[in-house]
Structure 1
């Protein structure tokens, strides 16, 4: 009998794990469209120093119809153009919109009651790779990870240890 699989591993059969270069390209595309978004999830945790694998790129996006159209155009530039099949109102109907292209990109209008408008003024912009990449702040990333998943608990423990150091800088 087959053992149950983690649903997050399901896309591994169809997409490859994203790289920092993939993130740079996606951010460049989103920035070119003037999209309002922020990076969260595993890529954001990696940015703050906890190296762990991730199967996708998670983006918190402003869910206004105009912004979603920008996001669809930007993500639609990935090789398979999978995002171009989305409807502008998909994020109003689904908690997470998963785009399985060459890599997997998850779009979220909110994560644990954290939405883009709440965090927009506190984003941490990193441009070391030549493209501005907006990450959730440590505090907002902790708030976005208030789930029962073990990996989120581990991420929170790591991020909470950064708080005193971050507040001193």
Structure 2
């Protein structure tokens, strides 16, 4: 029986180490391709916010911490209570990472914002205006963020880094549907 317990601890610790290492790589190498695989093939461009990588990494690290607790804590109630809390928090973190995305199709812009489980779809005719907020950095001019003004009064502000690949497509589709485009230089 003693050997079985040691083997069980070694398995927990081994999987914990794998999850800790995965916490650094999996959000980019695994989670992003999973999102791209399950999003509609009509998508012209797919992306995710940088916070998605953080929540996925933290989620995997919490799952690994739960395994470490199972391997090292002796008191049964504390062991399973702490491990359960860590597993639940880790699963929520991974879920937030997997559900954080946005993409563009010829008909719409779909946004599933960070820390939400439901997506919002916006047809191109629902955009009143797209603002590009321009800054100067190291003598170079670059787009810092995009602000979307919707016809229902909602304002969505997104960093340009995650939208860089699709900003031209968004602006062209909004303008083709009668919306406005404006560049604003920030000082």
Q: Which TM-score bucket, shorter chain as reference?
A: under 0.3
Higher helix share: 2
**If the length of structure 2 is used for normalisation, what is the TM-score?**
0.20
**If the length of structure 1 is used for normalisation, what is the TM-score?**
0.21
* Higher relative contact order, structure no. (Cα contacts within 8 Å, ≥ 6 residues apart): 1
